[in-house]
Amino acid sequence: MTASNTFSLAESNSAMPQVVVVGGGLTGLTVAFRLKQWAAGISVVLLESGDRPGGNIGTEWHEGFRVERGPNGFLDRTPAVPDLVRDLGLSAQLIAASDGSRKNRYVFVRGQLHKLPRGPLGLLTTPLLSWRGKWQLLSEPWRKSQPVSADESVHDFVTRRAGQEAADIFADALVTGIHGGDPRQLSVAATFPRLPVLEREAGSIIRGFLRAARQRKKEAKAQGLHPPGPMRMWSFREGLQVLIDALTQHLGDTVQCGVAVRSITKPTEASPWIIHTDRTTFTADAVVLTCPAYEQAAILHDYDRTLAEEIAGIPYNRIAVVALGYRRDDCPGGLDGFGYIAPQNTRRDLLGVQWCSSIFPDRAPPGFVLWRALCGGVHRGEQLDWDDDRLVKAVHAEIRLAMGVRGEPVFQRIIRWPKAIPQYVCGHLDRMARIEELASRHAGLFLTGNAYRGVAMADCVEQAGRIATQVSRMLLPPDRKSSV
């Protein structure tokens, strides 16, 4: 694409509707890929401010250690990512997380590692709960209780349904592991939307899960398929970078890196969108913002300040990824597991440790292990300001305490995310409703990304597909809309 002060996409091919996608993380790349796949005849440009696409996702390779910068893998909770992987021709390259990593997960509480219980027998025998705590959790199917507030926190919801101990240990571990957030602040309806639905429909979470599993089995049987297995985590032998590279390759010169969007305007209802970047200006019929909320807010500030302020209200936490390599001989135990969580309420020097080389193959050279600690989160954000030496020493001390490693780390790599994961605090869904109402006043403006309706890779890919469908339906001629 030629550099000029004003580059109008419309000028390049006036017959084609034009879309500019802002942000080249997984969401933006998937929106652009789906638009190209489903809506031939729409011209797409993706603008990414960084020097590489991928956003949070990226894999580094140092001295035989393969380090994920952000996510470690994705769950097949919905078909969204597996379908994308298939459409990119990558299915044969997928690798599933080890069986051990699915079954053996730990929490670090009261000074030692405890295996997270699986099933009713595990719950009955776990030392993590008192007898009273066990009774409160296992009697959940018969408990009748009503939400106290319209938008309950994860902590209040789990306490109401399954007791305080379950909330303090299991809900905290879940939220710490996925969001690096505080269960007392996060909205259950926004963070785990399925839970309130199960309660409403089945009168109980446990009963609702069992009923849903029976239904899935029945449907699979009716279609002559194997009953669906438990949810699994997936990646690629060479890491999640494979997914980003494939998307980028398919998109070719649709992706322009090193171009930061500063603002957008639409002088009149009938005129196209004008996208101002730090280099040049684009015009388009539709703009899809997929960059983080605080960037979307800055871009929209002069165009619709009320909308921008709503978006700017979505908070983020801070996370440092501290990857350490050890000699295998220095690490006692079988290490056949996923790793452990140190619940936020324990305020330790790390949120948890993923045993990367136990989860996926080829993460460390033979004779070594690679572990990744996540530090910071909503309560320990100051850890990002620690220098590398202090962070490594703190993480090593935690790992030595929890796992009894003997030697010093032989490898280290630190990645700091000053604005890491958006936090869907109580009120998030009301905020979303206001954002959607305000945005709907601007034809051709689409807002998506991990700030809105799910932070997992699966959520991002699912939402990206939905947005690509909406954009296609808006821009394609009537006779082609039904094909999308």
Residue 133 within binding range of ligand FAD, rule CB under 6 A? no
- Please state the φ and ψ torsions of residue 432, each to the nearest 5 degrees: -60, -45
Inter-residue contact 68 to 413 (CB < 8 Å): no
Sign of CA dihedral 159, 164, 168, 171: negative
By rule CB under 6 A, what string of x and - marks binding of each residue 404-443 to ligand FAD? -------------x--xx----------------------
Residue 58 within binding range of ligand FAD, rule CB under 6 A? no
Please pick, from the candidates 56, 59, 248, 256, the single residue that binds ligand FAD as defined by CB under 6 A: 56
Please pick, from the candidates 10, 16, 212, 260, the single residue that binds ligand FAD as defined by CB under 6 A: 260
By rule CB under 6 A, what string of x and - marks binding of each residue 96-125 to ligand FAD? ------------------------------
Inter-residue contact 372 to 365 (CB < 8 Å): no
Residue 321 within binding range of ligand FAD, rule CB under 6 A? yes
- Using DSSP's 3-state secondary structure scheme, residue 26 falls into helix
Residue 255 within binding range of ligand FAD, rule CB under 6 A? no
Please pick, from the candidates 49, 93, 280, 281, the single residue that binds ligand FAD as defined by CB under 6 A: 49
168: left (phi over 0), alpha (psi -120 to 50) or beta: alpha
Six-digit token pair at 263?
């603002």
- Using DSSP's 3-state secondary structure scheme, residue 326 falls into strand
Residue 55 within binding range of ligand FAD, rule CB under 6 A? yes
Six-digit token pair at 421?
């994961």
Please pick, from the candidates 189, 455, 461, 467, the single residue that binds ligand FAD as defined by CB under 6 A: 455
Closest to 198 (Cα-Cα) out of 188, 212, 177: 212
Residue 274 within binding range of ligand FAD, rule CB under 6 A? no
**DSSP result, 107-162:** EEETTEEEEPP-HHHHHHH-TTS-HHHHHHHHTGGG-----SSSS-BHHHHHHHHH
Least distance from ligand FAD to the Cβ atom of residue 240, Å: 9
User: Considering only residues 202-241, where is the footprint of ligand FAD by CB under 6 A?
Assistant: none
Distance of CA 298 to the CA centre of its chain: 22
Q: Which is nearer to ligand FAD, 445 or 455 (CB)?
A: 455
Stretch that binds ligand FAD, among 44-52, 118-126, 204-212, 387-395 (CB under 6 A): 44-52
Q: Which is nearer to ligand FAD, 76 or 140 (CB)?
A: 76
Least distance from ligand FAD to the Cβ atom of residue 233, Å: 8
321, β-bridge pairs: 374, 415
Q: Which is nearer to ligand FAD, 374 or 476 (CB)?
A: 374
Please pick, from the candidates 88, 319, 405, 447, the single residue that binds ligand FAD as defined by CB under 6 A: 319
Please pick, from the candidates 352, 381, 449, 465, the single residue that binds ligand FAD as defined by CB under 6 A: 449
- Per DSSP bridges, beta strands 255-257 and 352-354 are unpaired
Please pick, from the candidates 94, 190, 246, 261, the single residue that binds ligand FAD as defined by CB under 6 A: 261
What is the DSSP secondary structure assignment for residue 285, as one 8-state letter? S
Q: Which is nearer to ligand FAD, 204 or 317 (CB)?
A: 317
- Using DSSP's 3-state secondary structure scheme, residue 244 falls into helix
Closest to 184 (Cα-Cα) out of 159, 214, 215: 159
Residue 82 within binding range of ligand FAD, rule CB under 6 A? no
What is the DSSP secondary structure assignment for residue 55, as one 8-state letter? T
Please pick, from the candidates 73, 177, 381, 465, the single residue that binds ligand FAD as defined by CB under 6 A: 73
Distance CA 171, CA 167 (A): 5
Distance CA 319, CA 354 (A): 14
Please pick, from the candidates 32, 35, 264, 457, the single residue that binds ligand FAD as defined by CB under 6 A: 457
Distance CA 122, CA 132 (A): 15
Residue 47 within binding range of ligand FAD, rule CB under 6 A? yes
Residue 28 within binding range of ligand FAD, rule CB under 6 A? yes
Kindly list the residues in this chain that would bind ligand FAD in the complex (CB under 6 A): 22-28, 47-50, 55-57, 70-74, 260-261, 290-292, 295, 319, 321, 417, 420-421, 449-450, 455-457, 460
